[in-house]
Amino acid sequence: MFSIISLVQELDVNEKIKNAPDNSYEIGVFIGSFVPFVILVIIAYALYRYNKNRINKE
């Protein structure tokens, strides 16, 4: 299921880059494609730190 979604998103990104007005738009699309991944990493790290500190206090 996720592979189908990623293929659709990949085609959409490639389409956006082809229709980009200039190179700065490509950089924005590239950065924007990593934002969800970065947010998930930050959430995972916050959960890890919270649970680690909670275990140490007991």
- Measured CA to CA in angstroms, residue 16 lies from 12, 45, 47, 53, 58 at distances of 6, 32, 35, 44, 52
- Which among 27, 28, 37 has a CA at the least distance from the CA of 6? 37
Alpha-helical runs (H) found in the chain: 2-18, 23-57
For the chain, domain boundaries: 2-57
Task: Give 57's contacts (C-beta < 8 A, 6+ positions apart).
Answer: none
For the chain, 58 residues long, the average pLDDT of each consecutive 10-residue run is: 55 70 77 85 95 83
